[in-house]
Amino acid sequence: MCLEFILKWIANALVLMVIAYIVPGVQVASFYTALIVALVLAFVNAVIKPFIILLTLPINILTLGLFTLIINGFLFWFAASIIKGFTITNFWIAVLAALIYSIFSIIISSAGSNENAT
């Protein structure tokens, strides 16, 4: 359980490094910074995101869930504003980076859960 969390944490940090390489406007100073960002994003997604989703539920329903992309971008941008060494140039770059990060996080999480399915 603990080893699985650490492996997912490292994998998400590697994804952040790849995003910084692929998406212009996203910069991560070092792998150590990426580890911190991955940890902060995990905390933000676990604690703050449910409340924001609940508060924006009417608009989320009207947009058929697409407003969640905007929320993810905002939370990604928020993490960049509080962590030194992690910068994002503008909000729409944050939305794109959050989309890529979410896709890879889903892949990483599903890869870890397939081991126990047998």
Per-residue model confidence as pLDDT tens digits over 2-28:
888 899 999 999 999 999 999 999 999
| Mean of the per-residue pLDDT values of the chain | 91
b/e code 7-27 from CB counts within 10 Å (16+ = b): ebeebbbbbbbebbeebeebe
Strand, coil or helix: what is 28?
Answer: strand
SS (H, E, C) 68-87: HHHHHHHHHHHHHHHCCCEE
Tokens of 100: 């890529």
CB 38 within 8 A of CB 16: yes
**To 10 degrees, what angle do helices 31-55 and 2-22 make?**
100
Averaged pLDDT for residues 29-41:
95
CB atoms within 10 A of CB 44: 16
Per-residue model confidence as pLDDT tens digits over 84-94:
999 999 999 99
Q: What is the pTM of this model?
A: 0.85
What pLDDT shows up at residue 110? 87
Q: Where are the domains of the chain?
A: 2-9+23-112
Per-residue model confidence as pLDDT tens digits over 55-65:
999 999 999 99
